[in-house]
Amino acid sequence: MNVSIRSFLAEEDGVTALEYGLLAAVIAGVLVVAGREGLSEMFSTLFTKLKELVESTIGTTGGGSTST
């Protein structure tokens, strides 16, 4: 029993995974801050195109709502 507890306390795999997770979060944060303008433009373009697509789809199907 003591051997298994000591083995558990000496285990460092979880710490390594936590360190990698924190490193990934910091890198993602830096990329977001560095590319803020590009990301803003990309999302603006994306949502504009999605809006146009939805509007064109509604226009071709009549756009009316049906009630049951």
Q: Give the per-residue pLDDT at 68.
A: 55
Given a contact cutoff of 8 angstroms between Cβ atoms, the answer to whether 43 and 49 are in contact is no
Is the Cα dihedral 51, 53, 58, 60 positive or negative? positive
CA atoms of 14 and 6, how far apart (whole Å): 15
**Euclidean distance between CA atoms 27 and 34, whole angstroms:** 10
The Cα–Cα gap between 39 and 58 comes to 28
Distance CA 52, CA 49 (A): 5
Over residues 9-21, the pLDDT tens digits come to: 777 666 778 888 9
Q: What is the pLDDT of residue 28?
A: 92
**Higher pLDDT, residue 24 or 68:** 24
> pLDDT tens digit string along 6-49?
887 777 666 778 888 999 999 999 988 888 888 889 999 999 99
